[in-house]
Amino acid sequence: MTASATTTAFSRRGSILHVEEVPLPEVAERFGTPCYVYSRAALTSAYQAYQAALADRAGRPALICYAVKANSNLAILDVFARLGAGFDIVSGGELARVLAAGGDPGKVVFSGVGKSRAEMRQALAAGILCFNVESVPELETLNAVAIELGRQAPVSLRVNPDVDARTHPYISTGLKSAKFGVPFEAALPLYRRAAALPGLTVRGIDCHIGSQLLDPAPAAEAATKIVGLVDALAAEGIVLHHIDLGGGMGIRYRDETVPSVAEYLAPLLAVMRDRQEQLLLEPGRSLVGNAGLLLTRVALLKHGEPKNFAVVDAAMNDLARPALYDAWHEIVKVSDGGTPTPARVYEVVGPICESGDFLGHARELSLAPGDPLAIMSAGAYGMAMSSNYNTRPRAAEVMVDGDQAFLVRRRETVEELYALESPLP
C-alpha cells in the first residue's frame, strides 16, 4: 500500500473523515459500531502496485497469491479474484472461501504445517496449483492421499533459509528454530525423495521468513539461498517451474519508514533477473492492512488519577493485535468539528474484563461520549483474528466503493453465538 493510495482512500473533508466518497459518521449511523470499513480503491491500488513492480517479468508473468489469512471476507477475495490474483491458503476452510468468492483454484498455493488428509483431498479435487509441503511426514501423507485418488499432487518444499527477519518474534518464521518449513540442509535429499514418489509432481520451491518486514535485505538474502538450491536441483535434473518467495512486506502503522512495493521488491527481483522460473509472492498485510479501519464509538469516559480511560465499543475480541503483539494502531476522531472538549491523554480500552483489553495507550484526544473513532490500518489480521470472547457478537464489515457502502458481513446476533450449543439433557 503506498502512502498516496491510503491518503486518497481515507481523507478528511472539512472535519469529517471519509472512506472514498462516503463520510464515516454515516457508516456508523447506518451499520452501527463496531464495524470494519474497507476501501475497494485502496485494495485495488495496493494490488496494482505489486502488478506494476512485477511488470518487468512480463515474459514470465509473476503470480500474486494473496495470503487469505490476513482478511478472508468474501468481498475482499472477490476484489482480488477479479484483479486476477491467486491465493495463498492455510486450511480447507480458506480454500472453500476462495472458491465461494470465484477465485481460480489453479492459482491457489496451500501453505501450513499441519494439513489434514481431508484438506489434502479437498485441495487435490479442486485442482490447486501447488502444495507448499513443510515436513517429511506431510510429503509421505500427501503422496499416499494422491495415490488413493489416482492423482499427482503438485508440490513445492517450503525451505527454511535460516535468515533472521528482524521482526516481532511471534511473526518471525525463517529461523532454524521456527516450526516452519524443512531445514535448508535437508532440502536437496528431500527433493530427490519427492521426485521419486509416484503421487507427487515437483513443481517449485517456497520460503516465507516473517511478517511486517520493513527492510528487504533478509528476504533478498533468503531468495539468494533459495535460487542457489534451485540451481543445485537443476544440475541433478530436478527442474522447478516456480519460485515462491512468500509474503511479509510491512506497512506503515505509525511513523515507520516503509519502502514502496517497488523498492521492497527490487532486491528480490534482482535475484530473480534472467531466471526462467515463474515468480510467486504471497503478500497479505501489504494488500489489505492500510485498506481498512475499525470504526468504533466512545461508550463512556472515566477521568481520574493516574489515568483517564476512554471505554469504546470495540475491544480485543475485535482487534487482537494491540493485546497480542503490543501493536500500535493510530486512533483518530471521525469528526473533528463540534464543541471542543479539552484534550486529555487517554487509555483507549474495550469493555472486556481483562487489563490487556486495550486498543491504544496514552493517546491525546478530545473526546465526548458517543464520538465515533477510527482505528486505522486495521484491514489485515483484524477481523480475521477476531473472536466472540465475552459473548460479544463480532463486528459488521462494510466495503466502500466510490460513493456506495455495502454490508459485506452483517453483525452477529447473540443467539447465533450459542446456537450450536445445548444444555445437558
Q: Which residues are catalytic?
A: 353
State yes or no: residue 317 binds ligand LLP (CB under 6 A): no
> Of 146-154, 215-223, 245-253, 366-374, which part binds ligand LLP (CB under 6 A)?
245-253
The smaller minimum CB distance to ligand LLP, of residues 165 and 295, is found at 165
The four Cα atoms 360, 362, 363, 365 give a dihedral, to 10 degrees, of 130
Q: What are phi and psi of 303, to 5 degrees?
A: -90, 140
Q: What CA–CA distances, in Å, run from 98 to 68, 86, 123, 408?
A: 8, 9, 11, 15
Cβ 402 to ligand LLP shortest distance, Å:
27
Closest of 236, 153, 245, 171 to residue 210, by C-alpha: 171
Give the one residue of 160, 211, 278, 308 binding ligand LLP; rule: CB under 6 A: 211
Cβ 275 to ligand LLP shortest distance, Å:
21
> Of 282-290, 363-371, 390-398, 412-420, which part binds ligand LLP (CB under 6 A)?
282-290
The four Cα atoms 64, 67, 73, 76 give a dihedral, to 10 degrees, of -20
Give the one residue of 208, 225, 242, 394 binding ligand LLP; rule: CB under 6 A: 208
Give the one residue of 19, 42, 54, 70 binding ligand LLP; rule: CB under 6 A: 70
Stretch 103-132: interaction string toward ligand LLP, x if CB under 6 A: --------x---------------------
The smaller minimum CB distance to ligand LLP, of residues 199 and 379, is found at 379
State yes or no: residue 248 binds ligand LLP (CB under 6 A): yes
State yes or no: residue 372 binds ligand LLP (CB under 6 A): no
> Of 18-26, 208-216, 271-279, 352-360, which part binds ligand LLP (CB under 6 A)?
208-216
Number of residues lying near ligand LLP (CB under 6 A): 20
State yes or no: residue 247 binds ligand LLP (CB under 6 A): yes
Return contacts of 18-24, CB within 8 angstroms, 24+ apart.
19/293, 19/400, 19/405, 20/400, 20/401, 20/402, 20/403, 21/400, 21/402, 21/403, 22/400, 22/403, 22/404, 22/405, 24/295, 24/334, 24/372, 24/374
In terms of Cβ atoms closer than 10 Å to its own Cβ (0-12, 13-18, 19+), residue 89 is buried
Closest of 396, 324, 409 to residue 33, by C-alpha: 396
Give the one residue of 204, 218, 284, 360 binding ligand LLP; rule: CB under 6 A: 284
Give the one residue of 5, 17, 28, 67 binding ligand LLP; rule: CB under 6 A: 67
| Sequence-distant (≥ 6) Cβ neighbours of residue 319 within 8 angstroms | 294, 329, 359, 375, 378, 382, 386
Give the one residue of 134, 282, 318, 357 binding ligand LLP; rule: CB under 6 A: 282
The smaller minimum CB distance to ligand LLP, of residues 285 and 297, is found at 285
**Secondary structure (H, E, C), 326-350:** CCCCCEEECECCCCCCCCEEEEEEC
State yes or no: residue 381 binds ligand LLP (CB under 6 A): yes
The smaller minimum CB distance to ligand LLP, of residues 194 and 323, is found at 323
Give the one residue of 218, 246, 350, 372 binding ligand LLP; rule: CB under 6 A: 246
State yes or no: residue 171 binds ligand LLP (CB under 6 A): yes
Cβ 247 to ligand LLP shortest distance, Å:
3
State yes or no: residue 252 binds ligand LLP (CB under 6 A): no
- 68, 94 Cβ separation under 8 angstroms: yes
User: What is the C-alpha to C-alpha distance for residues 255 and 173, in angstroms, rounded to an integer?
Assistant: 24
Give the one residue of 286, 290, 296, 386 binding ligand LLP; rule: CB under 6 A: 286
Residues that bind ligand LLP in the complex, under the rule CB under 6 A: 67, 70, 88, 111, 171, 208, 211-212, 246-249, 282-286, 321, 325, 381
